Amino acid sequence: MQLPEILRRISHRLNSVNAKAVVVGGSVRDHFLKLPIKDYDIEVYGLESLEALEVVLSEFGSVNLVGKSFGVLKFVYEHEAYDFSFPRLESKVGRGHKGFEVKVDGQMDFRTAAKRRDFTVNAMGYDIEEKRFLDPFNAQRDIKEKVLRHIDDVSFVEDPLRVYRAVQFSARFGFTLAEETKALCRQMVAEGMLEELPKERVYVEWKKMLLKAERPSEGFALMRELNILKYYKELEALISVPQDPRWHPEGDVWVHTLMSVDAMAVLVRSEEVGGRSEKQKLKLLFAVLCHDFGKALTTTFEFEDGRSVAWQRSEQELLNTQRSARNAFRIRAIGHEKAGMVPTSTFMYRLTDEHDFIESLLPLVEHHLKPSQFYAGGAKSAAIRRLATKVNLETLVMVAKADFLGRTTEEAKSGRYEAGEWLLKRAAELKVKKKPLDNLLQGRDLIALGLQPSPVFAEILDAVYEAQLEGRLSNREEALHYVKEKYLC
């Protein structure tokens, strides 16, 4: 296993005082999964006290004692941080993630310490001095078979977050959840254990799944299987909502949404997205996840005789509607874009209190059809300029593209979203690709014309901006002339 040289030096020093350094956790797992290793956690066996470990580490770099009460020391060497800890046991003594009693014991054996971990793949170690892997729960077999398996029933249920971790790990690594682990997770959900989790912890697992899984759909499918969707009614409501097979031959809104999220997962890793931040990528992923929430509220059957029947969740009612139809019908969801804004907000606030982030999703949901509609209708310049005042067009096109690719039409299979290409080209020509037009005038310009500051200023500036959007004004001189003609004569 490849390790930073400093860890080998520290291991050798610990060995000289009859102690042992073992790399544990995700770095060992990622070694076998052939993934990049970002963080190294080291457990130290054989010392009597953390103070003794602190003395050794201080010979090589700085030591932060912030986690000392939990048996953890943060060691910093050449701007890189490493967590050194003693083996420990955790016992549930109260509700929530803080309701644990931690017992730190430097004399504990590796198997006993590893048993507290969630899954076998996270319970391996690497003995630095002996250059050998420690695998007390046969994780290497599980990795080979691509199975995610919990270690211990008793310790697993003590932290309900492990159900969400099972979902995100399964999606990230493309693993199948072991049947015994699946049964235990179902039981935990059925008993309401997830309800004690604070949203902040749950949201971390959602973000990992969306950002790190090649196919987040696998995580959502597992959520459905484990009945976690009962806590996310807006998502659950998409199941079985029918769509017009001409535009959505892939199936219902649930199927389409998962395909769209997977398409976006590909896009956020592509050069097309480039160097966007993690928060910007999350915005794209959540916008696509939420983009069709409104279809559960607006889907109808439109019959040739003029009747309109709202879709009902009951499969029997749907079947009866189809059987009783004596003429053809089409499936429509008129206004689903705007109708999806409220459930998007409700859903997101269940995950996080980041108000500005949630608000930034709503225009993407509301306008996600615009790129295709504008392309089909040959939208005029003014309409494109106005749209740019409501939503960032580059981001909107990304959402619309994932929506377009999340289907099985021949056009979608081509991988090319011509409507988006057209809109971005037109937006670049109109100089609104990245942001809306700046107002040609400001209040100080009106004052320079001799006008006295007043509430009328806002009216004047709005009129100037409206003329810009319509293409009647293109520079400052024209705008000044417009104000003189209309307000100073």
pLDDT confidence of residue 326: 46
Q: 156 falls in which pLDDT band (50, 70, 90)?
A: very high
Architecture of domain 1-140: 2-Layer Sandwich (3.30)
Q: Say which residue the tokens 């800890």 belong to.
A: 85
**Burial class of residue 400, CB neighbours in 10 A (0-12, 13-18, 19+):** buried
Non-local (6+) Cβ contacts of 42 within 8 A are 7, 10, 21, 22, 23, 24, 82, 83, 84, 85, 128
Mean pLDDT of 301-319: 71
Q: How far is CA 30 from CA 7, 15, 25, 265, in A?
A: 18, 26, 9, 21
CB distance 24 to 41 below 8 Å: yes
pLDDT confidence of residue 325: 47
- In the chain, residues under CATH classification 3.30.460.10 are 1-140
Mean pLDDT of 26-40: 94
Burial code of 199-220, b = ≥16 C-beta within 10 A, e = fewer? eeebbebbbbbbbebebbbbbb
Residue 99 has pLDDT above 90, yes or no: no
Mean pLDDT of the chain: 92
Q: How far is CA 451 from CA 117, 403, 444, 478, in A?
A: 72, 49, 9, 18
Mean pLDDT of 87-94: 64
Tell me what percent of the residues of the chain surpass a pLDDT of 90: 81
Encode pLDDT of 198-241 as tens digits. 999 999 999 999 999 999 999 999 999 999 999 999 999 999 99
